[in-house]
Structure 1
Amino acid sequence: MSELKHELKRSLGLIDATSIVAGSMIGSGIFIVTTQMAKDVGSAAWILVIWLVTGLLTMSAALSYGELAGMMPNAGGQFVYIQRAYGKLASFLYGWTVFTVIQTGVIAAVAVAFAKYSAVFFPVLDTELIKIGDSFVFTNKQVLAMASILLLTYINTRGVKTGKSIQLFFTSTKLIALFALIILGLYVGLKTDVLSNNFANMWDASKTIVNPDGSITVTKLVGIGLIGAMGATIINSLFSSDAWNNVTFIAGEIKDPKKNIPRSLFLGTLIVTIIYILANVAYLALLPINGTPDSGSVLGNGIMFASEDRVGTAAANMIMGNIGVFVMAGLIMISTFGCNSGLILSGGRLFYAMAKDNLFFKAAGDLNDKDAPARALWLQCLWACILCISGKYGDLLTYATFASLLFYILTIYGIFILRKNEPNAERPYKAFGYPIIPILYIVVTALICISLLIYDTKSTGLGLFIVGLGIPVYYLFLNKKE
């Protein structure tokens, strides 16, 4: 179809954009990752500090991105920002990593989480369809995960208005449900002495490891050891708070984007930061941090050994008894389905922008009769489904999280480059606290990356390898263009 007839329409307001920020951030992580964090640092105070630092980092990055979004209110967001500051190769490597792992890997992981919690209501989903040794298992859960991706992709090909309605409904529902969980959790938990016990020695940090023979090793953490452990485990909360930048991908469809994108970034990240910290306070009010893996009770397992890492489910169980398992499963189903709606909606716009710049498959640069980048959406859908089948999305996400942090650093440093190279460019919004807050973000995130390099060298190395694979692919696209 002719591009003269079909173009991206600016039909999303501030509430819609904020819904996409918050909805894309809240998936299943907040209901799971605190368990691993408790094993890594073993301290109520340090857990909350890590979540607070995560929130402040996310909000400072969002406030910095606002300047770039105001300068370049076009579809593609971060891809466009990186290209303007560093050139096409750097922007392609970002887009390549987003397509191969970051966006599609998260979509696959969130879809499987949706299916996993659906299995609480429909046990038939656990049925194994194909099994090859211990390395590959294909179940009905993966079938449902792919079906949910296909359904949400189809919905989003029907136009941004349809997509935004789905997103707004599910984001509103899960925000209300999360606030209910927090209020009820604090109401029930504060009637006990669990919270005071958790904070009795709140700064005493330790790392807990379950050995192959089932025994437990506890190592006290102080000084550099504590800093290293925090730097390594913050990856859990950062992953749970990621995808806030997705709203920049759909800048071409937001009304008054120079104002509404910065505002939505701030409001969305602020809302989620508050919810995440309060949710963890509720967990600490309901469950002891420490426990034993074979206690046989929710209270005995504690946060550290919550069954299958489902600390959210354990908390709901303490509030409502056994029915809490089903209530929490339903909440996570809503949360993950809504999260994927936003991720799918946004991701397609990034790949559309890449295609328009001859850095992706040309067909992805077409819009359908609903002014949606349908082919870009279906390409994203195809790769996400392949990752669902492979079952390797979890490993890939671990490898790519480090690379994702590097791209955040690169993008925010781009503010300094563009202020120097383009001092007279229009900046409807200027980065809050410039240059202090952007510098603090870069320094703290760089320290986290260094910690990850030291404590998780394999994952960080493979993350860099995935990014590096994009270099020959970039030159293939250049040759094809010529």
Structure 2
Amino acid sequence: MSINQENSFKPSLSLVDATMIVAGSMIGSGIFIVSAEVARSMGSAGWMMGMWVLAGVVTLIAALSYGELSGMFPKAGGQYVYLREAYNPFIAFLFGWTQFGVIQTGTIAAVAMAFAKYLGYLEPALGEKNVLWSIAGLNINMAQLVAIASIFLLTYINTRGVKNGKIIQTVFTFTKLFSLFGLIVFGLILGAKAEIWNANWENAWNSASLTMVDGQVVTTALTSMAFLGAVAVSMKGTLFSSDAWNNVTFIAGEIKNPQKNIGRALFLGTFIVTIIYVSANLMYLAVLPFNEIAFAEQDRVGVAAAENIFGAGIGAYTIAIMIIISTFGCNNGLILSGARIYYTMAKDGLFFRKAGELNRFDVPGYGLWIQAVWASLLCLSGKYGDLLAMVIFGVLVFYVITILGIFILRKTRPDVPRSYKAFGYPVLPAIYIVVALSLAVLLLIYEPKYAIPGLGIILLGIPLYFLAKKELK
């Protein structure tokens, strides 16, 4: 096996490929589920839509801001490189550690389990209820093995070269984009009812929390402080459904004309997904009474909507197939891009040395397999859901620090060529920093059981950094 240096990365991904990685990594199962929690938390159609629009606007601002950084440093590792250049290797390591320990691998595990659960819906023998072993109080079920098999299959494909990964990504992302557009169009044409739409918008801006008590929906008006807490809970879901757009920056070394195409892909991908997410929620409001959105069985709003559009049997199967396609394509993008962070960390002497090697297909094969093994262990642990809830706080913090880096680099590195400048600088990046920091603070106040451990995961990287400096020289 030949060992290649970074300049052996082959720039074979076009603008379309890069855009499909952005959109495909963002769209998983969240759009079919998260609206239920948002509806319960906010209590009205206007505020529910407001949370999705806010998430979309915030994501777009962040993506447009990252365009400047991607033009300055079009290298493998993306956001890790931006943090290293704007600050120092220590801050970059904290990001890389959190990505490997929880964010990237935890997301891969959660998406793989969603894939397996819906595959189990079509074939119950492959589902969670089929428990195979019970070891030391830990139940191993068939869905976990299916999830791990999907991770290993996609990892193997991606170790055989970026061209294989990009084919899967483009095919699956186009398929799920057209499927979602189709669901939205069919919903608005076949399933929409004027009386449902009008009733949902009758008190569109009355904020309230909704709870189910003895089969009855209880509405409790939100005080100003409770309203902020509801926003924090809602944005945790909508932002996470819109996350992973930054993954395209990790594979900058394999994108053609990265100085321009990464910024373009970030905008196009996030814009397409934002339009789809907002349209899907408008369709839900046209098809389902508000309380049926809020209290959809197991939060499966997409299934409830599809059943109203196509009928019970066909609707449920339609959404199950859409989620299987969506999650498989989503994980391909996450797996493909994640290992490039570990590659760059290894080059800096801050990760396992072999992760900094490219295999004969010019991809970081060792890093891909390390990622696969850890993500698979998270699948077996059953704790990936808790981990993901914890790290949305860390995700926001690193986005804020990265975008703040634009201001720093404008002063410290004014001579570095910028093929693309942050849109609306300095106003829009500053607005993002204020909004994202506010949300992080709200999460600390109103969701401390998740945010504080999330902060702890980041801080755990401090001793690990010095250990890495010592052991991996």
TM-score, length of structure 2 as denominator length: 0.97
1:308 — aligned with what?
298
1:476, 1:210 → 2: CA distance?
50
1:14, 1:23 → 2: CA distance?
14
Give matches, 1:449-464, under 5 Å.
449-464=440-455
3-state SS in 2 of match to 1:372: coil
3-state SS in 2 of match to 1:303: helix
2:301, 2:331 → 1: CA distance?
22
Instruction: Answer yes or no: is the 8 Å Cα contact 2:208–2:219 preserved in 1.
Output: yes
1:49, 1:145 → 2: CA distance?
34
Instruction: Answer yes or no: is the 8 Å Cα contact 2:72–2:418 preserved in 1.
Output: yes
1:222 Cα offset (Å): 4.5
1:132 Cα offset (Å): 6.2
Instruction: Answer yes or no: is the 8 Å Cα contact 1:166–1:341 preserved in 2.
Output: yes
Instruction: Answer yes or no: is the 8 Å Cα contact 1:244–1:265 preserved in 2.
Output: yes
2:378, 2:15 → 1: CA distance?
33
1:298 — aligned with what?
none
1:131 Cα offset (Å): 3.8
Give matches, 1:153-302, under 5 Å.
153-210=155-212, 217-290=218-291, 302=292
Tell whether 2:356 aligns with 1:365: yes
1:104 Cα offset (Å): 0.3
Instruction: Answer yes or no: is the 8 Å Cα contact 1:6–1:368 preserved in 2.
Output: no
Poorly superposed stretches of 4+, deviation over 6 Å: none
Summarize deviations over 1:197-224 as a string: whole Å, max 9, x none.
100111111112346x777653212434
Summarize deviations over 1:17-46 as a string: whole Å, max 9, x none.
000000000000000000111111111000
3-state SS in 1 of match to 2:11: coil
1:6 Cα offset (Å): 7.8
1:405 — aligned with what?
396
Instruction: Answer yes or no: is the 8 Å Cα contact 1:38–1:304 preserved in 2.
Output: yes
Equivalences, count:
469
2:152 to 146, 150, 153: 150
Structure 1 unaligned runs (5+)? 291-301
Tell whether 2:131 aligns with 1:128: yes
3-state SS in 2 of match to 1:202: coil
1:153, 1:84 → 2: CA distance?
30
Report the residue type matching 2:163 in the other structure.
K
1:425 Cα offset (Å): 1.5
2:359, 2:222 → 1: CA distance?
56
1:98 Cα offset (Å): 0.3
Report the residue type matching 1:193 in the other structure.
E
2:233, 2:117 → 1: CA distance?
27
3-state SS in 1 of match to 2:38: helix
Is the alpha carbon distance of 1:49 and 1:375 closer, same or farther for their aligned partners in structure 2, counting shifts above 3 Å?
same
Instruction: Answer yes or no: is the 8 Å Cα contact 1:6–1:369 preserved in 2.
Output: no
Give matches, 1:329-408, under 5 Å.
329-408=320-399
Alpha-carbon RMSD = 1.5
Report the residue type matching 1:154 in the other structure.
Y
Structure 2 unaligned runs (5+)? none
Larger displacement relative to structure 2 (49-58 or 187-196)? 187-196
3-state SS in 2 of match to 1:427: coil
1:57 Cα offset (Å): 0.3
1:156 Cα offset (Å): 0.3
Summarize deviations over 1:336-394 as a string: whole Å, max 9, x none.
00000000000011111111111110010111111111000000000000000000000
Report the residue type matching 1:447 in the other structure.
S
1:477 — aligned with what?
468
3-state SS in 1 of match to 2:104: helix
2:211, 2:417 → 1: CA distance?
53
TM-score, length of structure 1 as denominator length: 0.95
1:247, 1:113 → 2: CA distance?
22
1:24 — aligned with what?
25
2:311 to 305, 311, 321: 321
Report the identity percentage. 55
Report the residue type matching 1:152 in the other structure.
L
Summarize deviations over 1:218-256 as a string: whole Å, max 9, x none.
321243432331133111000000000000000000000
